Amino acid sequence: MKTYRTISLATLVCQLGLILRSEAQSQTVCNTHNTYRPPENTDITVVCGTKTMAMSIFLCPVYHALYNESLMALNGQFDNAECYGVPDWSTDPPTLKFNFTIAESDVAVCHNNFKITSEVGTGMFSDFSNVQFVNISGIISSLDPSAGTITYRQQILYMFSCRYPMQYLVNNTQLGVSGVSLAVRDNNGSFISTLSMQLYSDTGYTEPLIVPETGLNLKTRIFVGVKATNLTNRFNVLLDRCYATTSPFPSNSTYYDLFVGCTRDGQTRVELNGVSQMARFSFEAFRFVEHKNLTVSTFYLHCVTRLCEVSRCSALLPDCSSPAAGRRRREASSNQDVPANNMVTVTSPPIMVTKLNNAASSTSQGNSSPLVGVIVAVAILTILFISTAAFLGLYLRRRKTAFQ
């Protein structure tokens, strides 16, 4: 069944004016360009960003099909200025660019589809039996300005879509070293909380860890705290996954999981998780094998973090005594989770670890320092003793001579 949209006379007049105004530019740029041809599926580029979706299509095929930028819009929404693209004649080839944020309210402005699906976790999500994804899709379509009964213009349709893991990682996630602002919708409205990650050197999580430029020694225990501020007592902090990567970005690099659900590295200890507004764990410093030829191995720590309602946090934590039971509990409670936009990834400053032989050499030198000090002290005391004895001997001899 076809749906016809009614376009006002004023809109048609405006669009016809734009067609005439753009004709001269099209003739000077597109008529001799190699993309001045019928449209193809490869003419569209889609960038699935962490905050926005961006699409661009070649402009010259649009002109070749007897349309222009004023006759192309998202999902046929020609009565909404926000749904039109912006032409860029400075690029080669010239393009028509569309951009909108991935917030659900902004996605709906131009009638893009926003669909949430649930799937069984696989790969890096295999410890979770229910992983939700968001699929945002739509079309860039043309409007035929022909006023008659027939037309010789072929309709142009470019389809696009982006698929985001709603609860976990998004490619090219923005780096958040110092902290992440997290908007939470409470029963009484909205408020902003701030999540941050801090590294400590002591079991009390009070002494900030200072990483020297030469790097930490291997197996140095690092204490990690992920804390929420400006948060009501209705929510706790819950860590779903913490892992290390060789680059500052949470994806697209070598990674090593410290823990995912019940699966933990042998040197990782999770002390607090989902029971307060600060989650705590610790691990021993290690080096990435790919850095074997480097004096210092540098990596970054990332934690996939969300807030959970105090009464439901325990239900979201898997039963680590029985992996199967843990998966069932997470699946059963998935529909009661805090909204997915409350899931973020927080990232640590760079962590540098030195080679084992350098650490051993440094330790050896450090242990020899007290011995050198003792030798120097003995030498000084010996010199003082000899000097004192010589002085007394000389003094007694002169006194004896004086009495004679």
Q: In 3D, which of 132, 147, 210 has the Cα closest to residue 7?
A: 147
Q: What is the pLDDT of residue 281?
A: 96
- Select the more confidently predicted residue: 62 or 380: 62
The distance of Cα 48 from the centroid of its chain, to the nearest Å, equals: 14
Amino acid (1-letter code) at residue 107? V
State mean pLDDT over 153-175. Answer: 65
Q: What is the pLDDT of residue 322?
A: 59
pLDDT tier at 103, thresholds 50, 70, 90: confident
The answer to whether position 142 is within a domain reads: yes
Q: Cα(first)–Cα(last) distance of the chain, in Å?
A: 140
pTM for the model: 0.47
Instruction: Please state, in angstroms and rounded to a whole number, the distance separating the CA atoms of residues 266 and 257.
Output: 11
State mean pLDDT over 75-101. Answer: 93
Q: What is the pLDDT of residue 287?
A: 93
pLDDT at 228 over 70: yes
Q: What is the pLDDT of residue 75?
A: 94
Instruction: Report the CATH number that the domain containing residue 90 is assigned in CATH.
Output: 2.60.40.3210
Q: What is the pLDDT of residue 364?
A: 39
Q: What is the pLDDT of residues 324-363, one digit of tens each?
A: 544 433 333 333 334 444 567 888 989 999 986 443 444 4
pLDDT at 121 over 70: no
Same domain, 128 and 42: yes
pLDDT tier at 259, thresholds 50, 70, 90: very high
The answer to whether position 370 is within a domain reads: no
Q: What is the pLDDT of residue 325?
A: 41
CB-based contact 271:279 (threshold 8 Å):
no
The answer to whether position 244 is within a domain reads: yes
Classify residue 175 as exposed, middle or buried by CB count within 10 Å of its CB (0-12, 13-18, 19+): middle
The answer to whether position 378 is within a domain reads: no
Q: What is the pLDDT of residue 339?
A: 40
Average pLDDT, the chain: 76
pLDDT at 181 over 60: yes
Q: What is the pLDDT of residue 4?
A: 40
And the tokens for 403? 């009495």
Instruction: Report the CATH number that the domain containing residue 334 is assigned in CATH.
Output: 2.60.40.4100
And the tokens for 231? 């948060």
State mean pLDDT over 118-133. Answer: 60
Angle at 282 between CA 278 and CA 286, to 5 degrees: 140
pLDDT at 130 over 60: no
State mean pLDDT over 355-375. Answer: 49
- Select the more confidently predicted residue: 3 or 18: 18
Same domain, 67 and 192: no
Domains contained in the chain, number: 2
State mean pLDDT over 135-143. Answer: 91
Instruction: Please state, in angstroms and rounded to a whole number, the distance separating the CA atoms of residues 241 and 302.
Output: 8
Q: What is the pLDDT of residues 41-50, one digit of tens each?
A: 889 999 887 6
- Select the more confidently predicted residue: 235 or 83: 83
**Percentage of the chain exceeding pLDDT 90:** 35
The answer to whether position 30 is within a domain reads: yes
pLDDT at 157 over 70: yes
Q: Which residues pair with 242 in a beta bridge?
A: 259, 303
Q: What is the pLDDT of residue 76?
A: 92
The answer to whether position 403 is within a domain reads: no
Q: What is the pLDDT of residue 378?
A: 65
Sign of the Cα torsion 240, 245, 247, 251 reads negative
Same domain, 257 and 339: yes
Q: Which of 130, 165, 200 is the last residue of a domain?
A: 165
Classify residue 272 as exposed, middle or buried by CB count within 10 Å of its CB (0-12, 13-18, 19+): middle
State mean pLDDT over 27-44. Answer: 88
Q: What is the pLDDT of residue 340?
A: 40
Same domain, 50 and 143: yes
And the tokens for 74? 């998202």
Same domain, 243 and 290: yes
The answer to whether position 34 is within a domain reads: yes
Instruction: Please state, in angstroms and rounded to a whole number, the distance separating the CA atoms of residues 371 and 352.
Output: 30
Q: What is the pLDDT of residues 267-287, one digit of tens each?
A: 999 999 989 999 999 999 999
Q: What is the pLDDT of residue 132?
A: 63
Q: In 3D, which of 79, 29, 85, 24 has the Cα closest to residue 53?
A: 85
- Select the more confidently predicted residue: 38 or 319: 38
The answer to whether position 72 is within a domain reads: yes
Q: What is the pLDDT of residue 337?
A: 39
Same domain, 156 and 189: no
pLDDT at 303 over 60: yes
Instruction: Please state, in angstroms and rounded to a whole number, the distance separating the CA atoms of residues 381 and 326.
Output: 69
State mean pLDDT over 47-70. Answer: 89
Q: Which of 356, 380, 396 is the last residue of a domain?
A: 356
State mean pLDDT over 80-94. Answer: 93
Amino acid (1-letter code) at residue 21? R
3-state secondary structure the chain: CCCCCCCCHHHHHHHHHHHHHHHHHHHHHCCCCCCCCCCCHHHEEEEECCCEEEEEEEHHHHHHCCCCHHHEEECCCCCCHHHECEEECCCCCCEEEEEEECCHHHHHHCCCEEEEEEECCCHHHCCCCCEEEEEEEEEEEECCCCCCCCCCCCCCEEEEEEEEECCCCCCCCCCCCCCEEEEEEECCEEEEEEEEEEEECCCCCCCECCCCCCCECCCCEEEEEEEEECCCCCEEEEEEEEEEECCCCCCCCCEEEEEECCEECCCCEEEECCCCCEEEEEEECCCCHHHCCCCEEEEEEEEEEEEEECCCHHHHCCCCCCHHHHHHHHHHHHHHCCCHHHEEEEECCCEEEECHHHHHHHHHHHHHHHHHHHHHHHHHHHHHHHHHHHHHHHHHHHHHHHHC
Range of the domain at 343: 180-356
Q: What is the pLDDT of residue 367?
A: 45
State mean pLDDT over 222-234. Answer: 87
CB-based contact 257:314 (threshold 8 Å):
no
